[in-house]
Structure 1
């Protein structure tokens, strides 16, 4: 436990489990007063648990009003919530097979919702002397894939939203950064991802293990702190090196192991 966030007020969305819950716990350990928010009220120790609807601007505005009435300031926003239900994933396919309502649902939660939360939080953050906004994007927002089209496009929107916020409000001491997250062993991922898929993903990592929610929480806590006071407008990969190499990396590694050398 540290005190580097002592006295600061942090909002974490999507805090009902996985990365959001781990981040809320980490920020609290670092001294922040944490509001853990989700569509359904989380039950996290050491946090103020709140429910609001990211697709409803009135619900967001009322949530921010409650935070300000209770704490009087907002210093940190972690835009972590995302639509990743199994029902949504099963319908989020390639473009030709993609229903427009699936696209709209992804955009409403993953891109429009974070924008609206920032819209209502930033004026209070500026009035309080500034703050840090950290957005959770995904490798799907930077690289193409054969499926999850709507999810990927919505996460790409979040990357540039972060840059626009950094550009527009940096002189008011608002920092905005986005973490580009790789595969993380959340409870949902553990339960729903076949082992064969986990193995395929792990083969493309440069580090020997897949990510955990705590790995992501560590980076959020850093970006929220004064240790990152000169970082804004950045898109930081937190993916075990998944996006740092040639697409042929895993196949080439297997080939070199077979021939007993690494000379091309």
Structure 2
């Protein structure tokens, strides 16, 4: 029970990596807050966790809306009295191509640029802004930011997404420097291609799929493989780990 009695907020926990993390964290004893914009998906995750014997509740959350974020934090404090783990997982990517243009900066409309950054980068900022004061008062906490390989290497074709994820990496480093003195650890995961709804459409293209499978392990990853990395960073086993930028990509970024 590596997270026994710890309160963990997971944004974007309605699907993919966030849903996997909710289940795994709860299985390790955490009280999980499913912070998800999609009400149906969020409730489903919370119900699945509860049915498996874990503890979770759903709170409809738009991470780009500060008032909504503040209300979430207040609700969690009223329920549990503490917040031990924040997994800033919510984000939009290739699955949102019908709403936002994924392209070079020359082809990306300003409105789409701002919308992508408002969720992927501002969301991590707002959640951290309102939860870190709770952790400072407790003198403990673990923040895990979910970035992307796009945040640490140049990947053409989705420049707003890449800029947002690069911002998450930089934000992780400065937060780790700022809040370590309060026993708050801040780390970042950079997933490679993970088998989630976000990239299913992309993986349906054989040429793109072949590129993603070109790493040493020769395959795309599974959501649980990101969730277990987050579990380590959330747990006391990582008590001397902060400021880490951790690629979880099957070695793709090394070749």
Q: What TM-score does the superposition give when structure 1 sets the normalisation length?
A: 0.88
Alpha carbons 2:104, 2:157 under 8 Å: kept: yes
1:45-194 to 2 correspondences below 5 Å: 45-46=48-49, 47-84=56-93, 85-88=96-99, 91-194=101-204
Give the match for residue 33 of structure 2: 35
Alpha carbons 2:35, 2:58 under 8 Å: kept: yes
User: Following the alignment from structure 1 to structure 2, what is the Cα–Cα distance between the partners of residues 188 and 142?
Assistant: 19
Residues 1:200 and 2:211 aligned together: yes
Q: 1:5 aligns with which of 3, 7, 14?
A: 3
Cα offsets for 1:177-211 (capped at 9, x unmatched): 001110001134235532411122102x1113320
Cα offsets for 1:130-173 (capped at 9, x unmatched): 11100000011112222000000000000011111111110100
Cα offsets for 1:39-93 (capped at 9, x unmatched): 123022222111111111111001100010011100000000002223245x121
Structure 1 residue 212 displacement after superposition: 0.3
Q: What TM-score does the superposition give when structure 2 sets the normalisation length?
A: 0.91
What 5-or-longer segments of structure 2 have no aligned partner? Answer: 50-55
Matched position secondary structure for 1:96: coil
Tell which structure's C-alpha radius of gyration is larger.
Answer: 1
Q: 1:226 aligns with which of 236, 239, 242?
A: 236
Structure 1 residue 128 displacement after superposition: 2.0
User: Following the alignment from structure 1 to structure 2, what is the Cα–Cα distance between the partners of residues 58 and 114?
Assistant: 14
Give the match for residue 252 of structure 1: none
User: Following the alignment from structure 1 to structure 2, what is the Cα–Cα distance between the partners of residues 140 and 88?
Assistant: 20
Give the match for residue 26 of structure 1: 24
Equivalenced residue count is: 241
